[in-house]
A and B are shown apart, each in its own frame.
Chain A
Amino acid sequence: MSEPVLEIHDLRKSFGALKATDGVSLELRPGQIHALIGPNGAGKSTLIHQIAGSLKADSGTIRFLGRDIGGLDMAARARLGLARSFQISSLAQEFSALRNVMLAVQARQGSSFRFFRQVTDDKTLTEPAMAMLERVGLATRAHVPAAELSHGERRQLEIAIALALSPRAFLFDEPMAGMGPEGSKRLTSFLDELRHQAPMLLVEHDMDAVFALADRVSVLVYGRIIASGTVDEIRSDPDVRRAYLGETA
């Protein structure tokens, strides 16, 4: 089997006495969707923050494309090809949807220290950005400021931005949160396609989506991975049933 794209080993992070990440190890391999599930407060978002670089781990290693990225800041990790979405949409609110995606295209192309050419006439920015918005079905809303988009549209925009980075791995933190059943269904099939572009670490509460998408599932409870395996293995794991899935499984 091919080398893992993302490899996390014995990651630890405490906030005072609270062990938010308590010796987590996991791997993300090419073509995979690896879902991370667990009850609220299990430390899923904290883990995503540490991988993306917005929080620093206390100890442990994070290897991405064979390289230890523990010492890099968020921007450097993004440049290496780690694209994340945020649990709560995080956008440049005054910019239109298109300008938000153009920013990612610009970052992907390299230097932002260009002071003269106007971005709005720059087809090398506008065209790829528009193509990404089309892919997520947001093309008709391209010129609407991010602040005026609906909740679901903002989730789509986050994904368009991640796509525009042509990343080597996606980190998605609850992309379905707050979307209606129709939206979730569409997004599920979209993410299903996306795995061919780059593997994905997916934090998600929507179990239908997780079970439909995931190649592997890891269950995080109180900062520890209590089980990791295929969807079927996780569904039948007694610990998981007790800790998390409970009556719904």
Chain B
Amino acid sequence: MSRETTVNLLLALLLLGAPLVAAGMGEPFYVTLATRVVVLALAAVGLNLALGLGGLLSFGHAAFFGLGGYVAGILATHAFNAEPLFADIPGTTSMPLIWMTAVAVAGLVALPIGAISLRTSGVYFIMITLAFAQMIYYFAISWPAYGGEDGLSLSMRNAFPGVNTAKPLPYFLICYAALMGALLLFRIIEGSRFGSALQAARQNGTRLAAVGIAPFSIRLVAFAASAMITGFAGALYADLNRFVGPSMLSWHMSGELIVLIILGGKGRLFGPVAGAMIFVFFEYVLGGITERWQFFLGLILLGIVLFARGGLLGLLCGKPRHV
């Protein structure tokens, strides 16, 4: 077993074990904190597909995170008020249905955004993805039907067959399973033909085109898949907080997802997980000491960018190697 596999397993066990212990000790707050880690990690796993494997620095993934959240919020509100969504289509409080819708919506929105953004590269790509996300953000703010600036509160958590989702631990386990599923999917895609082409597109797009694979279509599919995972995380996040608001769509959120990946290790399977653990840990510990905790997070980020480019996993496991 390689060192990275060992570290990944330890992280996965720690992330599962800590809330189990907390729940056993009657500390539901820590379970909710761990759920926050898991959901942010899932959102970042999505971004990691585009950013880590494909080298696509999307500064607009909050759009997909927020869209997933709004799908959950809107469907649940309609179901709660017994108002049809359009025509005869009712809302729903079923998590699996909400997730599927969130994933589909995120993917469908990502396709045109990606198709336009991917005609540019470098700093223009960053700016254009940011611009699209901000458009959606301002749209959400100015749309009073779903709360506008105030967002939407969910009166209760949506339902999952056979699970009491209102309790912190069962909901944590649902999110944890989703994260593990996404990580497995990430690993499979990474090793597939598509993943090879995507990584080659990051390393050298000209080389990829010279063997006859057009980088654009590879990147576009990766961008959409990445948005779908992040959208899924958004739906879980809305249920975690029983609230969805425009802040989920704002560029701070996009930045946070990038920060998670840099902290943990760009392109590494467990990079987003490690990153989310560090991020939430500092948010909680430093946030308890000072309101200016982000200043210290900034210092840590500076240290990582200057001295440990590979993030925490790079520090622990060295450079990734492709056989």
Contact = CB atoms under 8 A, between A and B. Distances in A.
A110 B188 CA distance: 20
Contact of B212 (A92, A99, A165): A165
A96 B323 contact: yes
* Majority secondary structure of chain B interface residues (helix, strand, loop or mixed): helix
B196 A99 contact: yes
Contacts of B192: 114-119
A151 B192 CA distance: 29
Contacts of B200: 92, 95, 103
B189 to A, nearest CB: 6
A52 B212 CA distance: 11
B89 interface: no
B221 to A, nearest CB: 7
Given A91-B204, A120-B191, A143 B323 contact: yes
Contact of A120 (B206, B211, B215, B323): B323
Interface string A72-106: 01111011000110100011111110111011101
Interface residues of A, number: 43
Contact of B204 (A90, A112, A145): A90
Contact of A93 (B196, B197, B203, B208): B203
Contact of B197 (A52, A103, A125): A103
Given A112-B197, A113-B221, A119-B191, A95 B209 contact: no
Contact of B209 (A73, A100, A122): A73
Contacts of A165: 211-212
Contacts of A76: 212, 214
A112 B189 CA distance: 12
Interface centre among B188, B204, B211, B221 (most CB of A within 10 A): B211
Residue of A86, A104, A115, A117 ringed by the most chain B CB atoms within 10 A:
A115
Contacts of A195: none
A203 interface: no
B210 interface: yes
B135 interface: no
A40 interface: no
A78 B211 contact: yes
Contacts of B323: 96, 98-99, 120, 143
4 tightest A-B CB contacts, nearest first: A78-B212, A75-B214, A79-B212, A118-B191
8 contacts: A73-B209, A90-B204, A92-B207, A94-B199, A103-B196, A112-B194, A115-B188, A116-B188
